[in-house]
Structure 1
């Protein structure tokens, strides 16, 4: 994509004549998927243990610890309270330290992950709370250890909720990538801002919006199907 790209009015109907749509959207979509995928994977790897810790240290958890629960909960609440755009700007030094740059989709993965972990951790905690207390008590009476209770009872029974929570998180991440694109992360957000907004190319803006809607719908459909598949209740 070059700055000399010609404008193609929406009324023409010749969308594919626009080089941005014909050549740039494929790369932008890949960048959006890459940002979302990497951030979602890292969020799951960290968010699930944090959510388990929040649940286990709560007053009704397996290992109640008010001090630990309040400390972890405070950190999670702070992370959830920061608007993503402010978070992304405020941790620029950390992003540069971890990936060596502050632009590109690789750099955007850092704030995306940090912003999504607290969000998903709370969803994990909520899913674990919904597991029947009778199931946990029965496993305890059978001699299950804390690790077995966590892995084979709580996480196993909460799988539909965990999948649904991750689906919600991934959809939120797609929205975050659009904001990240506005300040150098690439992806569909960057194309929409650079060409659709700054250069008044309505066809590019509409194409980006349609692609984002399609991505969200696909994620929701796949997430719902997976949640039904792992639900054995």
Structure 2
């Protein structure tokens, strides 16, 4: 399948493509970008949902109020969210080396990407869950539902559409972050833009990268909006 895509792109761009970059390199970079986005989003969602649900449940007036947990977790989320990604990328190099054995490459980039997107998703999840009508929670409590049942059978299903739209926003931000990760040799189309477009003054590669990123963002946005409307 991959070879067919490379051949198709090569034949399609052959009449006007004069760059030293081959379509095989481009497809490989695109695969690396998908790889980073998928795994960073997967791990980020797990971490983010835990944070968001914990913040909503333990906040004052929540279903399981706990000042120690809430006031301990809240500033940590704020601190991680405040760090620019390029600084975070460098700051967690020791942790990245400890976890994956290297600070260069696709897997190495997934570590800072997860740390970057996790707190962001946590805040988005918290916002979505807080939008749920309190009457639904009060009705669930009146029926004798446990806190876990209230969260997973009432709050999360009710916030489904909002969660999907917010996760769509997080995915788009993550795609932009993977492009920045190319600055430290993480691979992906961001790395192509720097190594071929910027360092070799190849404007065509930069234009191709921008077009691909725009297409990816549009696809993700349309898919998110479609899923949010499903019932």
Cα distance in 2, alignment partners of residues 105 and 156 from structure 1: 34
How far residue 23 of structure 1 moved from its aligned partner, in angstroms, is: 2.3
TM-score w.r.t. length of structure 2: 0.91
**Could you say which residue in structure 2 is the equivalent of 1:133?**
134
TM-score w.r.t. length of structure 1: 0.90
Cα pair distance change 1:214/1:132, threshold 3 Å: same
Cα distance in 2, alignment partners of residues 142 and 213 from structure 1: 48
Please say which of residues 60-69 and 202-211 is displaced more in the overlay: 60-69
How far residue 190 of structure 1 moved from its aligned partner, in angstroms, is: 0.5
Cα distance in 1, alignment partners of residues 88 and 154 from structure 2: 36
Cα distance in 1, alignment partners of residues 200 and 103 from structure 2: 24
Cα distance in 1, alignment partners of residues 15 and 115 from structure 2: 41
Q: Confirm whether residue 206 of structure 1 aligns to residue 211 of structure 2.
A: no
Matches within 5 A, 1:1-233: 14-230=15-231
**Could you say which residue in structure 1 is the equivalent of 2:9?**
none
Cα distance in 2, alignment partners of residues 160 and 173 from structure 1: 20
How far residue 160 of structure 1 moved from its aligned partner, in angstroms, is: 1.0
* SS at structure 2 position matched to 1:59: coil
Consecutive unaligned residues of structure 1, counting only runs of 5 or more, are 1-12
Cα distance in 1, alignment partners of residues 153 and 200 from structure 2: 55
How far residue 208 of structure 1 moved from its aligned partner, in angstroms, is: 0.7
Is the CA contact (8 Å cut-off) linking 1:192 and 1:205 kept in structure 2?
Answer: yes
How far residue 21 of structure 1 moved from its aligned partner, in angstroms, is: 4.5
**Could you say which residue in structure 2 is the equivalent of 1:9?**
none
Runs of 4+ more than 2 Å apart: 13-19
* SS at structure 2 position matched to 1:60: coil
